[in-house]
Structure 1
Amino acid sequence: MLIETIFHPDQDASSTSLSYPRLSLNDAITCAKARLLELQNEEGYWVFELEADCTIPSEYILMMHFMGEIDATHQAKIVQYLHEQQDRDGSYPLYKGGPGDLSCTIKAYYAMKLAGDSIQAQHMVKARRWILARGGGAKANVFTRIMMAMFEQIPWRGVPFIPVEIMLLPKWFPFHIDKVSYWSRTVMVPLFILCTYKVKARNPNNVGISELFITQPESEKNYFAHVKTPLGKSILAADRMGRLMEPLIPGFVRRKATIKARDWFMSRLNGYDGLGAIFTSMVNAYEAMDYLGIPADDERRRIAREAIDRLLVVKPDKAYCQPCVSPVWDTGLAVLVLQEVDRRERDPIAEQSLTKALNWLAGRQLSNEPGDWRVQRPNLPGGGWAFQFGNSHYPDVDDTAVVALAMIESGDREFAENIERAGVWIAGMQSANGGYGAFDADNTHSYLNHIPFADHGALLDPPTADVSGRCVMFLSKLVDRQPEYRAVIDTCITYLRNQQEADGSWFGRWGTNYIYGTWSVLTGFESAGISKHDSHIRKAVVWLKSKQRADGGWGEDNDSYHDVGVRGESETGSAFHTALALLALMSAGEAGCPEVKSGINYLLKNQQDDGFWKDDGFNAPGFPKFFYLKYHGYEKYFPLWALGRYRNECGDFIS
């Protein structure tokens, strides 16, 4: 089912008939809470739009032309969305307010041209000039060059050599799919087939983009000029040697590897949620199924296409495609928010909503089904939650900690088994250094980020402070009755102490950025009972207070992933970052300080007439420096969380 315009979490304030004056703390909480409850799905979950940069909607158009399956209505609406997102200089950034990105701009240009936009149109001229001024199509990243090779716009020598025989490599080999992250595995395996057989896009209108190249593609010799490190150059030499030796690969070996790759991704198609439940993996699988001869009317292929289409957000005049959906994450956080808001008194309506949500979540807990994480933890009982509606091979450590904590906070013994299974699973997913990755344990083979394919630098899923902080937050709630978790918690706390930056902050891998990371760790420390006088906590408090803006709020741009000199800073404040900073300070025992009072006033002053808040910026990375996201729910429930906690600690009034 497509998300239609009746999906109202992201209506502008001007589109609603609700009209509220500036409210007191109590009234502001009541209003925002009522609106959040309104948006709960009748099945019990919350899900808000998850918007990425223009790469994903552009790739949706490219997929339609690759397959020759063009929906003119969707295409026209996506093109309208692309028109609206273009910057004045003609480029397309990876996040709002960020610098233009070459690869994103190339894909948007090609998508618009495929859809029928004239190359003489002003927006196309501006985009083309911007691309050429930065070296043209030859300078695009690996994924963009692979797309161009399949559309016959560059020769295959312009992309890394990734033969399907990789599937046959032994686990001890320096590269093996079990050594990379879950998202890398699900993207790469069907891509091995597409690249090995040099699959060509149907491209029914025979649209090309030769005008985006300074040196014509067949003559270009510098497709890998970006490889600079000695290790990278060594691997590139091996890449070239492998390409020369490819004709010597016996046919039976290629067939065996192809069958193994096919069986690997076909066994993980994941129904209507799609391979890995992420767009790029789903598209690669769909295109590989077509090449392998699986007919269009085959149920598996039909469902694979529908899984992709379910990511569309379709509005009356425009549309875009999400990279994935976040119902478990949104629901777990919404439950924690409402539990905080109603901590002082029982609201029967909210209680009914929470029960419904928790029961929905309980039904989504993964069982002992096979999962890729079992490669590293084969004897570990299942018990995690995915990020999406369904993703049985890839439970998410972060989501599991949040959902299980919400179940603990409910006080309902009905969820005791769910909580116990989550605790066992999370404790077992700890990496050797004490921290936690999002999906894998000990996914730390850093040399793999130097292979030519990995120019995005995000092939791995190493432990990070933000996920680790939430694991401490959850496990600390269990340690009184399950003391065996004490060693796990202590080891993780040591990891977090070592991860603290010199200025007192923590890096945020999955949310923007140091404010998010610092909030994550301080809430974990609070749950673990670490003294508020602890030197690491005091250092973090000083850093957070130093980043407060003159208007009382906080803000942080994704620029901080590229320039550490702007940690915790932004040209404008945001309700999301203000809420995180407030929650972090209150976790550190600072609820009564002037900075917290000023921050609460910032949220009250910036609450919209519809009861929510509105932030324009992207608030999380998919991959830092390369791919960013906007969780449309964050500006709705995080500020409510901060207001609710403040009221619980300081009362109804702000002095």
Structure 2
Amino acid sequence: MTAIDMEARPPVGPTNFAAALRASVAAATDWLLARQKPDGHWVGRAESNACMEAQWRLCLWFLGLDDHPLCARLAQSLIDRQREDGAWEIYFGAPNGDINTTVEAYAALRCSGYAADHPALIKAQRWIESKGGLRNVRVFTRYWLALIGEWPWAKTPNLPPEVIWLPLWFPFNIYHFAQWARATLMPIAILSARRPSRPLPPQRRLDALFPDGREKFDYDLPEKKNAGGWDVFFRKADKVLHALQDFGHRFRLNLWRDAAVRHTLEWIIRHQDSDGGWGGIQPPWIYSLMALHVEGYPSDHPVMAKGLACLDDPGWRVDVGDATFIQATNSPVWDTILTLLAFDDSGAPGHDSEAVEKALDWVLKRQVLVPGDWSVKLPDVKPGGWAFEYANNSYPDVDDTAVALIALAPFRNAPKWRARGIEEAIARGVDWLVAMQSASGGWGAFDKDNTNQLLTKIPFCDFGEALDPPSVDVTAHVIEAFAKLGVSRDHPAMVRALRFIWEQQEPDGSWFGRWGVNYIYGIGAVLPALAAYGEDMSAPAVLRACDWLKSRQQDNGGWGESCASYMQAESAGRGNATASQTAWALMGLLAANRPQDREAIARGCQFLIERQSEGTWPEPEFTGTGFPGYGVGQTIKLNDPLLSERLRQGPELSRAFMLRYGLYSHYFPLMALARAAKAGRV
């Protein structure tokens, strides 16, 4: 039984259903209003996995900050999250632990002084051995082990900093990588070039993970599945790069290397966010600090001090008892604009309320009006997007921009907001989105046409997604935004976008969800967008989508889908029923507005009403997606032969990076219930 079940209310009878629906909407609205920040925004916790805390503990060791007050608190967070079987998992309720997370957590605890015979470490060691040991860890975990002297740098993929000079037309130019990969690649290139390590003291080393001794251990990277001849090519190229690096170091031929490092350092420093982090996410932040440290930047240097101070920023740090958790990202813009959408659906508080006005003013001020990495390929396009986080001017994203425009749309004709420049903000946002459309007609999250499949074959890219291809859910949000802003369906961008949506539908009627779990999220994004544009909601393709949703509704009235659905076809649309996923399914059915769905909608609403507790919905499950887990750099469909091959080989959930956004289980249910009440479909 999940937390949401334990909080369940008694069943709601048909005679008081409408009143219960209104009461649930009102309670959810009040809950949100009570949690608005003084400056007008909302933000929930972005929960991920124990790699965050493990890596930060190892980073503090590497930086020589052994007495940092976070050291013990990070170790405690790892102890608190260990599974009974000794492993650490990558999302709540995962069927198995994760080898990479478990090895990194083990290393962090040893770094913190936990003895190898500590019960937690003995359990972890046995679990790691049962999964084949260190031989099966990913590239990033190998880098971390190299940084603490537990892995030879020569047996890690070489990332030469000279890539900073590759021209834009070259396949391996850094701007052909996804935003998250690019921002992480640059500092790792410095670490790879310098090969630094701060070895753990003898009494804390990871000897137990080398049961046959280090001299007998095979450090070579396992063959990369589905890479074909490219795997052989890149392995040979990697050996050549290592040999050249050794030759240059031996004969002091480092003139070009040092220049490349300096250029890369300049790039890193130029990309530091105003809050001290990098890229709005953990990996480039943590690797950039270590790269700067290796190049002689002391901890009190302004750039380093700002980055380290970010660890105390409540936008990143969450303290729970004696433990501290460092978030992988933060989501204030996303949470605020979706809350505004929920309020617009519920009709309360009104558009003129102080809460809404403060939030809208906060959102308008967050529009990014300076060029970012996206402008390298679009130098003549004016900026106008919104980012996900508090501070991330280099990487505004299409999804936040589209939803921000949906949130702004109801206010565009109000004199007070016109005087504050809302129409200009909307126009810039629309123009930016049109320019960011990919050739396929869809939109990726951060870049245009970020689809170079060759990049997914290199050894470095075994961590998850190296590319940012167009996705259905992001494209659907753009379509909905343009519909609400009155962009003609005959506009070339819309013609291509709608064609993309229909082409991406699965044969069974569902749509793949890239940034939310998974097919339920995809349908929940697409159907409201199609309805907003006046598409024929009685079309056979729409009916198939609705029938798919109804086929996945559970006996309790709710919907749920496991993160495993990204790698296991049988998990599509199946998993513990959650409030957020039930809301997505309801919004899809409500958009179709079919009489035959009335009962399913009523049951879904009742599920939400009965499980609401103190105004909100408890939900421990992860329903947000960072890296889906298929790890091949493209939007995978169930009928794709490449995915079929991967499914036969077994799930690769170690490639996945899943998220639990703390407010997903609140504003999405509020939207769904408010739309149901407004439509009178229950």
Q: Give the TM-score band, short-chain normalised.
A: over 0.9
- More moved, 81-90 vs 239-248: 239-248
Please say if residues 93 and 101 of structure 1, whose CA atoms lie closer than 8 Å, have aligned partners that are also in contact: yes
Query: Displacement, 1:101?
Result: 0.7
Paired residue type of 2:300? D
- CA distance in 2 between counterparts of 1:28 and 1:174 reads 53
SS of equivalent residue, structure 2 residue 289? helix
Q: Which residue of 2 aligns with 1:650?
A: 680
Q: Deviations over 1:144-187 (max 9, x none)?
A: 00111111101112210112122222333331101101111111
Please say if residues 384 and 400 of structure 1, whose CA atoms lie closer than 8 Å, have aligned partners that are also in contact: yes
Which of 604, 616, 619 in structure 2 is aligned with 1:612?
616
Q: Does 1:87 align with 2:88?
A: no
- CA distance in 2 between counterparts of 1:645 and 1:312 reads 35
Q: Deviations over 1:433-485 (max 9, x none)?
A: 011100001000012111000012411111111101101111122345xx497
- CA distance in 2 between counterparts of 1:218 and 1:540 reads 57
- What TM-score does the superposition give when structure 1 sets the normalisation length? 0.92
Which of 479, 496, 513 in structure 2 is aligned with 1:491?
496
SS of equivalent residue, structure 2 residue 170? coil
Q: Does 1:299 align with 2:298?
A: no
Distance 1:583 1:188, change over 3 A: same
Q: Which residue of 1 aligns with 2:640?
A: none
Q: Deviations over 1:571-616 (max 9, x none)?
A: x2111111110011111113761100010011111111x1100111
- CA distance in 1 between counterparts of 2:579 and 2:321 reads 28
Q: Does 1:436 align with 2:433?
A: no
Q: Deviations over 1:192-229 (max 9, x none)?
A: 11111011136578732121124544443352123243
Q: Which residue of 1 aligns with 2:465?
A: 458
Q: Which residue of 1 aligns with 2:381?
A: 380
Please say if residues 44 and 661 of structure 2, whose CA atoms lie closer than 8 Å, have aligned partners that are also in contact: yes
Q: Deviations over 1:235-289 (max 9, x none)?
A: 1111112222234554221121111101111111112151112111111111111
Which of 116, 121, 137 in structure 1 is aligned with 2:118?
121
SS of equivalent residue, structure 1 residue 320? strand
Which of 32, 35, 38 in structure 2 is aligned with 1:39?
35
Distance 1:112 1:428, change over 3 A: same
Please say if residues 398 and 474 of structure 2, whose CA atoms lie closer than 8 Å, have aligned partners that are also in contact: yes
- CA distance in 1 between counterparts of 2:151 and 2:276 reads 33
Q: Does 1:514 align with 2:519?
A: yes
- CA distance in 1 between counterparts of 2:11 and 2:74 reads 37
- CA distance in 2 between counterparts of 1:20 and 1:353 reads 33
- CA distance in 2 between counterparts of 1:101 and 1:309 reads 28
- CA distance in 2 between counterparts of 1:102 and 1:350 reads 52
Q: Which residue of 2 aligns with 1:502?
A: 507
Distance 1:546 1:350, change over 3 A: farther
Please say if residues 368 and 383 of structure 2, whose CA atoms lie closer than 8 Å, have aligned partners that are also in contact: yes
Q: Does 1:639 align with 2:641?
A: no
Which of 93, 100, 107 in structure 2 is aligned with 1:97?
93
Could you tell me which runs of 5 or more consecutive residues in structure 2 were left unpaired when the two chains were aligned: 13-18, 630-655
Q: Which residue of 2 aligns with 1:52?
A: 48
- CA distance in 1 between counterparts of 2:300 and 2:76 reads 31
Calculate percent identity across the aligned residue pairs.
33
Q: Which residue of 2 aligns with 1:237?
A: 236
Q: Which residue of 2 aligns with 1:391?
A: 392
Q: Deviations over 1:365-384 (max 9, x none)?
A: 011x2311012211111100
Please say if residues 271 and 307 of structure 1, whose CA atoms lie closer than 8 Å, have aligned partners that are also in contact: no
Please say if residues 68 and 202 of structure 1, whose CA atoms lie closer than 8 Å, have aligned partners that are also in contact: no
- CA distance in 1 between counterparts of 2:10 and 2:29 reads 14
- More moved, 305-314 vs 184-193: 305-314
- CA distance in 1 between counterparts of 2:494 and 2:402 reads 13
Which of 520, 538, 542 in structure 2 is aligned with 1:537?
542
Matches within 5 A, 1:236-385: 236-249=235-248, 250-310=253-313, 311-342=316-347, 347=349, 351-367=353-369, 369-385=370-386
- More moved, 519-528 vs 588-597: 588-597
- CA distance in 1 between counterparts of 2:254 and 2:76 reads 47
SS of equivalent residue, structure 2 residue 448? coil
Query: Displacement, 1:349?
Result: 8.9
Which of 623, 632, 639 in structure 1 is aligned with 2:627?
623
- More moved, 281-290 vs 197-206: 197-206
Q: Which residue of 2 aligns with 1:149?
A: 146
Please say if residues 139 and 223 of structure 1, whose CA atoms lie closer than 8 Å, have aligned partners that are also in contact: no
- CA distance in 1 between counterparts of 2:335 and 2:212 reads 47
- CA distance in 1 between counterparts of 2:278 and 2:255 reads 27
Query: Displacement, 1:530?
Result: 0.4
Q: Which residue of 2 aligns with 1:9?
A: none
Please say if residues 97 and 617 of structure 1, whose CA atoms lie closer than 8 Å, have aligned partners that are also in contact: yes
SS of equivalent residue, structure 2 residue 668? helix
Please say if residues 67 and 202 of structure 1, whose CA atoms lie closer than 8 Å, have aligned partners that are also in contact: no
SS of equivalent residue, structure 1 residue 100? coil
SS of equivalent residue, structure 2 residue 491? helix
- CA distance in 1 between counterparts of 2:489 and 2:524 reads 26
- CA distance in 1 between counterparts of 2:424 and 2:240 reads 54
Distance 1:273 1:326, change over 3 A: farther
Query: Displacement, 1:316?
Result: 2.6
Q: Which residue of 2 aligns with 1:565?
A: 570
Which of 485, 507, 525 in structure 2 is aligned with 1:478?
485
- CA distance in 1 between counterparts of 2:490 and 2:372 reads 24
- CA distance in 2 between counterparts of 1:541 and 1:25 reads 23
Q: Which residue of 2 aligns with 1:220?
A: 217
Please say if residues 153 and 217 of structure 1, whose CA atoms lie closer than 8 Å, have aligned partners that are also in contact: no
Paired residue type of 2:526? V
SS of equivalent residue, structure 1 residue 622? strand
- CA distance in 2 between counterparts of 1:623 and 1:348 reads 37
Paired residue type of 1:406? A
Please say if residues 113 and 204 of structure 2, whose CA atoms lie closer than 8 Å, have aligned partners that are also in contact: no
- CA distance in 2 between counterparts of 1:20 and 1:28 reads 14
Query: Displacement, 1:322?
Result: 0.4
- More moved, 193-202 vs 508-517: 193-202
Distance 1:31 1:573, change over 3 A: same
Please say if residues 612 and 635 of structure 1, whose CA atoms lie closer than 8 Å, have aligned partners that are also in contact: yes
SS of equivalent residue, structure 1 residue 593? helix
Q: Which residue of 2 aligns with 1:468?
A: 475
- CA distance in 2 between counterparts of 1:536 and 1:495 reads 14
SS of equivalent residue, structure 1 residue 454? coil
Paired residue type of 1:638? F
Q: Deviations over 1:542-566 (max 9, x none)?
A: 1001000011000011010110121
- CA distance in 2 between counterparts of 1:114 and 1:222 reads 22
- More moved, 422-431 vs 642-651: 642-651
Q: Which residue of 2 aligns with 1:4?
A: none
Distance 1:308 1:202, change over 3 A: farther
Which of 66, 72, 75 in structure 2 is aligned with 1:70?
66
Paired residue type of 2:105? A
Please say if residues 575 and 639 of structure 1, whose CA atoms lie closer than 8 Å, have aligned partners that are also in contact: yes
Please say if residues 116 and 208 of structure 2, whose CA atoms lie closer than 8 Å, have aligned partners that are also in contact: no
- What TM-score does the superposition give when structure 2 sets the normalisation length? 0.89
Q: Which residue of 1 aligns with 2:649?
A: none
